[in-house]
Structure 1
Amino acid sequence: MTLRTTLGRLGAQEDLNFLLTNRLPRRLATQAMGRISRIEQPWVRDASIALWRLFCDVDLSDAKEQRFASLHAAFVRELRPGARSVDPDPAVAVSPCDAILGAHGIVEAGQVLQVKGSSYRLADLVQDQALARAHEGCAYATLRLTAGMYHRFHAPADLRVESVRHLWGDTWNVNPIALKRVEALFCRNERAVIRVRLPDGAAMTLVPVAAILVAGLKLGFLAEGGDLRATGGRTIASGADLARGAEMGWFEHGSTIVVLAPPGYTLEPALREGARLRMGQALLRAPRDTPQ
């Protein structure tokens, strides 16, 4: 098989993947999946979970429960106690979720990489010019949750949530194929902007981005977190204090979290794009002169 033939086949596979996950009516497919995933009738539940496990890399061995009322319950499963080890070093901020590390780097001229060779404006992602300027020159990391991964996300450090803003959007798939083909994809999808303050006074921003099939995200620490869409995009003050590793919320399907680091924080040196992360693993390291 020639290189040209191999590349042609790979291109055809990408075309088919993109067609099936993005060119079909995304909102309609997402609404339909949301309804089907919540059906508790045993044969529907068992068949849908079996299909999910067939097409996705799913490991339920660390789940708190081993039997689920529906596919949705399996999506948003909790972990059994002790299933994740949270790095206790106060000089690091940990990964808030299980994920694959995607594009990362430094915010430069207001731009953030989506994939190599393609960037987007941070101000378009957070819909706040002042917040985007505050992260200029800071590190960022894109964390992708695949459909089979644990879907809940947690506090990356001891922190206080200062505010949350829900931003309505589309339901594009966020897999690597779509990221290569859809300009500023994260700025198009439904998302939330969560501003937090760390014990050293540093400000961090987490941007969970929802995606196709179920979509939606929930924030357990916020009274309005069960129905963010009803908040109308207004900024909601919080003041919730969360300990390192405490649950913050969950996606109703796999998606992405863009982590915008405080000034001076750097990505953990050993991490490389494509690395698989576990919730609680060191992600960012504070500057050495930061008081702990």
Structure 2
Amino acid sequence: MRKKIYQSLIELTNGPFTSNMIRKFALSKWSKFVIKPYSKFYAVNLDELKDDINQFKNLHSFFTRKLKEGARQIDNREGVIVSPVDGVLSDTGKIEKNKTIIVKNKEYSILEMLGSEELTNRFIDGTYIILYLSPAHYHRIHSPISGKIISSYSLGSTSYPVNKIGLKYGDFVLSKNYRRISYISHDNTSIAVIKVGAMFINSVVMLNDKEMWTKGEEVAYFSFGSTVILLFERDSFEVSPRIKAPMNIKMGEEIGKIRKAPY
């Protein structure tokens, strides 16, 4: 019953009209007055901002803020996969033979998430990592490894929240929300980077359409709190022993290493 009530409320309030109203406010000059209360409420570290807080024209520009050069250190060791975002590394595990993953006791279809049988088959018995971004986090997305972009596309339309409540009561949010999927080829293995939109504002803005991405390079940003899912092929990736989900992590920090090509 709780699940049905929750889903009904989200569907009633998460339509194009509501999303458009929130977007308009976030882009308006009036939203500038909520930036400081917002930053205080979410304990945003203002010392690492590239620009002074008074220079932001609206809430959207603050939400998609950039950081000072050197605010994040990229682990550039060969074969190391780094976190593409600041956030909470909330879960990691194995992709099952039936093409599913278990997150918060809920089974998600990788096939539904990726929308391609051929691409999904690459990740059977592989590894997944889930990174959740709250409204407090830095919301720019960076490449987790250097490699060639072999495919990039979008799926889904509306979105449920991706916080704890959303994962529990939402309608399979990780595989049905609006999402932008990019595949990176590195040393004969593929890595899927799935950028999942969140409630009200589904926007994942791609900034990098180059054929090659460099580790740590900025590639996109979220217009609202959201989630990034990384998928690795079987026997191609080893999770770092320091990873103990759930844990806070910053962009550029090691999450694991490419182990060997699966072929």
Please report the TM-score for the alignment, with normalisation by the length of structure 2: 0.89
Pick the aligned partner of 1:26 from 5, 14, 38.
Answer: 14
For residue 285 of structure 1, what is the amino acid of its counterpart? K
Match of 2:204 in 1: 217
Please give the root-mean-square deviation of Cα atoms over the aligned residues, in Å. 2.4
* Matching of residue 105 in structure 1 with residue 76 in structure 2: no
For residue 129 of structure 2, what is the amino acid of its counterpart? A
Offset of residue 76 of structure 1: 0.8
Offset of residue 92 of structure 1: 1.3
Q: Superposed, which structure 2 residues align to 1:250-265 within 5 Å?
A: 250-264=221-235, 265=237
- Native 8 Å contact 2:7 2:170 kept in 1: no
Instruction: For structure 1, list consecutive stretches of 5 or more residues without a partner in the other structure.
Output: 1-11, 223-238
1:137-170 per-residue CA deviation (whole Å, 9 max, x = no partner) reads 1111011011111101101111111111111321
Pick the aligned partner of 1:282 from 226, 237, 254.
Answer: 254
Offset of residue 107 of structure 1: 0.2
Q: Secondary structure at the match of 1:142?
A: strand
Instruction: For structure 2, list consecutive stretches of 5 or more residues without a partner in the other structure.
Output: none
Q: 1:124 and 1:106 mapped to 2: Cα distance?
A: 17
* Matching of residue 143 in structure 1 with residue 169 in structure 2: no
Q: 1:275 and 1:261 mapped to 2: Cα distance?
A: 20
Q: Superposed, which structure 2 residues align to 1:1-292 within 5 Å?
A: 22=10, 25-27=13-15, 28-40=17-29, 44-66=30-52, 67-108=55-96, 109-115=98-104, 117-198=105-186, 200-222=187-209, 240-264=211-235, 265-287=237-259
1:111-157 per-residue CA deviation (whole Å, 9 max, x = no partner) reads 11221x21111001111111111100111101101111110110111
Q: 1:55 and 1:249 mapped to 2: Cα distance?
A: 25
Offset of residue 269 of structure 1: 1.6
Q: How many residue pairs are counted as aligned between the two chains?
A: 255
Q: Which has the higher mean CA deviation after the structures are superposed, 209-218 or 76-85?
A: 209-218
Please report the TM-score for the alignment, with normalisation by the length of structure 1: 0.81
Offset of residue 24 of structure 1: 5.0
1:161-201 per-residue CA deviation (whole Å, 9 max, x = no partner) reads 11111113212111011101124111221101111111x22
Offset of residue 275 of structure 1: 0.4
Indicate the percent of aligned positions where both proteins have the same amino acid: 22
Q: 1:113 and 1:32 mapped to 2: Cα distance?
A: 35
For residue 22 of structure 2, what is the amino acid of its counterpart? M
Q: Name the CA shift for 1:21/1:76 in 2 (closer, same or farther; >3 Å).
A: farther
Q: 2:50 and 2:180 mapped to 1: Cα distance?
A: 27
